[in-house]
Structure 1
Amino acid sequence: MEQKSHDDSFVRHPKMALNSRAEVGESTYRIGVDPELPFSLMSPDLQTIPGKKWVQLVTRCQKIPWRHNGFSMPEGIPDYRQAVAKTLKEHRGIVCDYQQVVAVSNIRQGLALCAQLLFEPGDEIAVENPGYQVHHNLLRFYGLKLIPIPVTDNGLDLTTLFSLEKPPKAVLVAPNNQFPTTAVMSENSRKALEEWANLKNCWIIEDDYDGHISHEKYPSPSIAVFDPLWTNTIHLGSFSKSIYPGFKLGYMVMNRSLVKAFAGARLFSDRQCCENHEVVLANFINEGNFESHLRKLRNTLNSRRNVLLAELEKNLTIFGKWKVPKNGGHICFEFYQSIDDVTLSAFLKQKYRIVCRPLSPQYLTNDKKFGFILGFSGFSEEALIRAVGVLKKGIVDFIQNTPSYSQILPY
């Protein structure tokens, strides 16, 4: 069988078919990677990446290029694991021994290891609805059944979760900055979730993807704080938001008795993280540079957030609403009325060169909301002001040329 490819050539398919998981992989591939255009969620810029101190550490590490380039332990080098434990205590209130830390390339890899080692195919996992589409697909890829739990202004709806007739094997939750809604779970709710999960013998997989990026003076503590013995909590984090998007280095924190199994499972995939990166980041943290970098980063992102909020207030209140994010680098814009956000997103990208990730595909159920996930971390204040003007112009253009939406315009 032959099929025409994107470059007009013909691809001959093998006689044997892929297994049932292949469609999940292909559908995830179709989500694509956002180009570095306004409102992209992961777009680096010179103001937010580490500066001179980082370059000095990289240069120092490369002076003897064959060092830190051999095989190392899959759980990470001790210096890196100690540095992670240090920064988690300082910024997330988590008390852990470095021997509870496992280095991973990113949160996604950590979640994949959880799916492989904690569950059997067919097990039920409670997830946020809406939630991160790629993580939903990842859990499906490993044969797990998703139980969608609504998200309220206080994050995961615990009333719905606690009323389930049969408790799930695990709960995947992003309490610090729920994606995409930006809801933050209260401290009391975090404690209640941990107590319930412990009572029901249910794992909590805490996705702390924006853990280092807070616009609040006193960020909420991690759920792991309420599980000091690490009986049922796995904490996942990454440095891609605080260093730069292409920096593939993250961590898992777990009960120490689990570390050998998780580290061993890494040997079946990419074996280990880049030791050079581990050395540089460990030194960056231990020499106090990460702390000063975070202060600068938070000030920059707070300013950009405020500019974007002000521009949305000026230009887009006629179309939708949004919440003020307490953490992270994106805003969730929700249309008042049902608009095909997937088609509109493609229209804006093609004609107006802005990237507005659609909200509706993040839902697992039919009771969807429609809107955009607007990133601001990688763009200057001036770029955001221009981009909001372009966004308004693009929305008006789309509505005016779509007869079924003509009643939406107030003028």
Structure 2
Amino acid sequence: MPAHKAAPLVLSLPLGEPEPGAGLQRWLYDALRHCILGGRLPAGSTLPSTRALAEHYGLARGTVQAAYQQLLSEGYLESRTGSGTRVSAVLPDATLRSGYVQRKVTPGSETPRAAPRTPWIERLESISPVFAKRAVAPGTRPFFPHRGDVRSFPMDLWRKLHQQHLRASRSSLLLDGDPAGLPALREAIAEYLHIARGVHASAEQILVLGSVQQGLDLCLRLLVPPGERVWLEDPGYPGARQLLEVAGVNRVDVPVDTQGLRVEDGIRQAADARLACVSPSPPPALGVEMSPARRLALLRWATQSGAYIFEDDYDSEYRFIAKPIPALRSLPGASSSVILAGTFSKLLFPAIRLAYLVLPEQLVQAFTRATALTARHANSLGQAVLADFIREGHFDRHVRRMRKLYATRAEVFAEAAQRHWQGLIRVPEVRAGLDIACTLEAHTEADAFARLNTAGIDVLPLSRYCVTPRPPGLVMGFAPYDEQSIAEAAKALEQALRAPPSTGTP
């Protein structure tokens, strides 16, 4: 009489009960995987047929088949003709050894592990990144600065161009791209800069990146040894200041006045600086352009000292009183000293995450190699769509239309300020950009900021842009908000700042 054949081990294992709401296929997969990793189903163990296991646990056979198939595809099981389904001799992850116990991780169940004390992490702990998420999406409430009107972007046109590049015949765009950027986009940028900004540069000198901030990071890594000095505008863009703080360089805050960066002060403080970060047309917050004399002085210093100038072409296209002034990079003798940075996030929409550097020829190879190593390349599909958008004239038309729209909103903003904010906020003439620095006349920054935040109005304190103390002020944006929104917010702001202090307020 033949010997009795033992039932497969799995039928004698308690697999537990499914959690409420959990699918039976997921439960069975997790239970079998747990037994395999814990050694309760050792290598070579035979599993029952799907029919037998389904009958034993009261499951649909399809449920068991699906769980088996997932374990087979992940390498936990192997199936051979004539020998059934067995536990694999070698598990898919060498770190999952016999004796491993799978357990659910719940908050607080793990012993916290301290972050390593590297210089970068220590310096990051001392700042609050300006790009961190806010409770309310930035730009959705007046008068948050540094935002354009994405609602006016020609989305249907962009979608059409996007779909054209998703055809099967253009599938090469789904592969890896050139670290320097899509050649078609670099050529389009070079042509645009020649016409609009007076910059003469070949497409080979264009490096496409994800942001101006990434471009500044590359400059700090490649051009400034740790501990060396870098000029930065004061007031200036807080994101640049924070990047310098964590990069380990010695930041030199150079004051800005009504003619722009005080070059003579920079030379007096640090004539041997390796890099100067400037926004000459115009810088964030103050909205003043660097005068021709200061531009020449800055370029003369860089040429004589062997330093480089990082020119952030911030909001240069949105100048309301006349045509945009030429870039610093366009001046004679600037091509070997000036690195021009521009972004499409302000001109089109923030999520596009495409920017560029115009590099001196001697830096092209090093910057391209660094980009290949650290970021590989920017989004190829987005670059292709943007290249068409520029070459077909849509970009130029969009910028012209938005310049006119923003100029109108700047006038509405100024008129609303004149009507409602007398004695509260002094608003200078709005000549360019998406926002303006205003002077507080009746409150401290902290008091005004708290009152406006409670009233549902977004602004930024001017002190966030400054190292050297200045009179209290607010940086306020007008570009994304229509006339009605500006008028209503202006009245709400007046009410908030004229209201008597609440009980307990100093």
The structure 2 residue matched to 1:356, chosen from 449, 456, 459, is 459
Distance 1:331 1:399 in 2: 27
Partner SS state of residue 28, structure 1: coil
The structure 2 residue matched to 1:19, chosen from 118, 124, 127, is 118
Matches within 5 A, 1:256-271: 256-271=361-376
Counterpart residue type for residue 245 of structure 1: P
Matches within 5 A, 1:111-150: 111-150=216-255
Asked if structure 2 preserves the Cα contact closer than 8 Å seen for 1:42 and 1:245, the reply is no
Which sections of structure 2, spanning at least 5 residues, go unmatched?
A: 1-106
2:83 alignment counterpart = none
The structure 1 residue matched to 2:144, chosen from 4, 28, 40, is 40
1:6 alignment counterpart = none
1:374 alignment counterpart = 476
The structure 2 residue matched to 1:83, chosen from 161, 169, 188, is 188
How far the C-alpha of 1:159 sits from its partner, in A, is: 3.1
How far the C-alpha of 1:359 sits from its partner, in A, is: 0.9
Partner SS state of residue 378, structure 1: coil
Partner SS state of residue 194, structure 2: helix
Asked if structure 1 preserves the Cα contact closer than 8 Å seen for 2:212 and 2:355, the reply is yes
Q: CA 1:240–1:280 in 2, change beyond 3 Å: closer, same or farther? A: same
1:408 alignment counterpart = none
Q: CA 1:78–1:142 in 2, change beyond 3 Å: closer, same or farther? A: same
Partner SS state of residue 252, structure 1: strand
Distance 2:123 2:501 in 1: 33
Counterpart residue type for residue 183 of structure 1: V
Partner SS state of residue 237, structure 1: strand
2:164 alignment counterpart = 60
Partner SS state of residue 183, structure 1: coil
Percent identity over the alignment is 25
Q: CA 1:376–1:33 in 2, change beyond 3 Å: closer, same or farther? A: farther
Asked if structure 2 preserves the Cα contact closer than 8 Å seen for 1:187 and 1:221, the reply is no
Distance 2:305 2:504 in 1: 51
Distance 2:150 2:245 in 1: 37
How far the C-alpha of 1:66 sits from its partner, in A, is: 3.4
TM-score by length of 2: 0.73
Q: CA 1:306–1:70 in 2, change beyond 3 Å: closer, same or farther? A: same
Matches within 5 A, 1:169-180: 169-180=274-285
Asked if structure 2 preserves the Cα contact closer than 8 Å seen for 1:187 and 1:220, the reply is no
The structure 1 residue matched to 2:436, chosen from 331, 349, 352, is 331
Q: CA 1:261–1:380 in 2, change beyond 3 Å: closer, same or farther? A: same
Distance 1:375 1:38 in 2: 7
1:101-143 deviations in Å (ceiling 9; x for gaps): 0001010000000010001111111111111111101011110
- Report how many residues are paired: 393
2:351 alignment counterpart = 246
How far the C-alpha of 1:395 sits from its partner, in A, is: 2.1
Which structure carries more relative contact order (alpha carbon 8 Å, separation 6+)?
1
Q: Does 1:393 align with 2:498?
A: no
2:449 alignment counterpart = 345
TM-score by length of 1: 0.89
Q: CA 1:45–1:164 in 2, change beyond 3 Å: closer, same or farther? A: closer
1:184-220 deviations in Å (ceiling 9; x for gaps): 1123321222122212222111011212222132221
Q: Does 1:168 align with 2:278?
A: no
Distance 2:443 2:220 in 1: 35
Cα RMSD between the aligned structures? 2.2
Q: Does 1:105 align with 2:210?
A: yes
Asked if structure 2 preserves the Cα contact closer than 8 Å seen for 1:154 and 1:185, the reply is yes
How far the C-alpha of 1:55 sits from its partner, in A, is: 2.8
Which moved further from structure 2: 56-65 or 258-267?
56-65
2:380 alignment counterpart = 275
1:319-362 deviations in Å (ceiling 9; x for gaps): 232322322100111213661x245424422x222211111121
Asked if structure 2 preserves the Cα contact closer than 8 Å seen for 1:211 and 1:237, the reply is no
Distance 2:410 2:504 in 1: 31
Distance 2:404 2:155 in 1: 15
How far the C-alpha of 1:371 sits from its partner, in A, is: 1.5
Distance 2:484 2:288 in 1: 27
The structure 1 residue matched to 2:257, chosen from 128, 131, 152, is 152
Asked if structure 1 preserves the Cα contact closer than 8 Å seen for 2:148 and 2:347, the reply is no
Q: Does 1:183 align with 2:288?
A: yes
